Amino acid sequence: MSTTTTSILVVVLFVAGILLGYLLARGSGGNEKRIHELKSELTSVRKAHQESLEQVNAALDSVKNLAVNMAATYKSLEFTKASLEGRQAQAQDYLLQIKNGQLEQIAYQDHNEAQDSVAPEAEIVEATANQATDKAEK
């Protein structure tokens, strides 16, 4: 090969290298844009995820408060019912749990069993209540 051919080949390879470097630099600039866009999108998604998590936690707190209020109302109604039936009620008779999505009593003294354990004063109150009901019906 002659020196002119070698010189031309070196110049062509040099120009090709410059073009290749330019194209690679241009491509990496596009990648930097894309990376910036992805980071921005990731930040937005994280923020939305955090807001959703806060909303779920707030909803859980509301449901817990509702469950506590419902349990207190239920317990109050059961005590009222027991009082109207003339039997004594104890707090442990109305312990509640949520099982399989249903509110269940952990322990409940059956009405028939409760009649066996009713104090004599309660029987008198029940008899008096029955007499009052009979008089009201007449």
* For residues 28-36, average pLDDT: 78
**Type of residue found at 134:** D
User: Are the beta carbons of 88 and 118 closer than 8 angstroms?
Assistant: yes
Confidence of residue 134 (pLDDT cuts 50, 70, 90): low
Mean pLDDT of 3-27: 86
Structure tokens at 105: 């009593």
Q: Could you tell me which of 107, 116, 119, 113 has the C-alpha nearest to residue 83?
A: 119
Q: Model confidence over 112-132: pLDDT tens digits?
A: 444 444 444 444 444 444 554
| 34 has a pLDDT exceeding 90 | no
Task: Give residue-wise pLDDT tens across range 50-108.
Answer: 999 999 999 999 998 898 888 888 888 888 888 888 888 776 666 666 667 666 666 55
pLDDT tier, 24 (very low <50, low <70, confident <90, very high otherwise) = confident
Mean pLDDT of 40-46: 94
